[in-house]
Amino acid sequence: MIGIVDYGLGNLTSVAGAVSKLGFEPHITSDADTLAASDKLILPGVGAFPDGMANLANRGLIDILGDLVIKQRKPILGICLGFQLLGLSSEEFGHTPGLGWIDAPVTRLKPADNALRVPHVGWNDLTQTKPDCILFDGIADQSLFYFVHTFHMETPPDGSQVGTCDYGGAFTAAVQKGNVFGTQFHPEKSQQAGLTLLGNFLEKA
């Protein structure tokens, strides 16, 4: 069973659809017992960072997830906003502390090339900075993934970055720190490469 964390934001149905397609049983839930009974967790998310943290807090999910992920070391995959929430903080609409599991802040994209539009929307190449990360099994370097975001996580100093993307400068596009995984792009919206990556997390993490 795969626990898809429901915190009132995000493309939960899309993620659940991709999990089902891969032959796993998704449960969209914010219930502590259901999350505890799940083999893996996915923290999806579309929306603004302050709302994301506030919603997690209001549902008691910060403590529940902290217990499951940090103490019990249950694998978790953060996607897009869910990935950013893993970081230290975000400057989206002011300064908001994050879950802090990945040691890097989230800041606004500032492409060096002024002609590049923000948000960064569309298909872009993923450079595998750590190709042996299990997320990338069977996926060629420079495969295309679907991005849609205005903010990005800065390079974590703890070496957890496993993939980057270039948009007027390289930014962190995927991380792994032990059982904590995250992608700025949307694997559930990235065709076959995305499904393969999601399948790697579900089968191998």
**What is the binding site for another protein (CB under 8 A)?**
9, 11, 13-14, 17-18, 21, 46-48, 51, 81, 116-125, 144, 146-150, 166-167, 186, 188-192, 194-195
Cα separation, 178 vs 160, in Å, equals 9
* Catalytic status, residue 80: yes
Shortest distance, position 181 Cβ to another protein, whole Å? 19
Residues 6+ apart with CB under 8 A from 201: 40, 75, 77, 134, 135, 181
**Residue 132 Cβ vs another protein, minimum distance, rounded to whole Å:** 25
CB 8 within 8 A of CB 184: no
Q: Which is nearer to another protein, 99 or 197 (CB)?
A: 197
Task: Report the nearest approach of another protein to the CB of residue 57 (Å).
Answer: 17
Q: Which is nearer to another protein, 161 or 184 (CB)?
A: 184
For residue 33, give the DSSP letter: H
The residue written with tokens 């499904």 in the block is 195
Per the annotation, the verdict on 188 as an active-site residue is: yes
- Pairing status of strand 76-79 against strand 40-43: parallel
186 among known catalytic residues: yes
Across-strand partners of 2? 26, 40
Between 136 and 146, whose beta carbon lies closer to another protein? 146
Q: Just list the catalytic residues.
A: 80, 186, 188
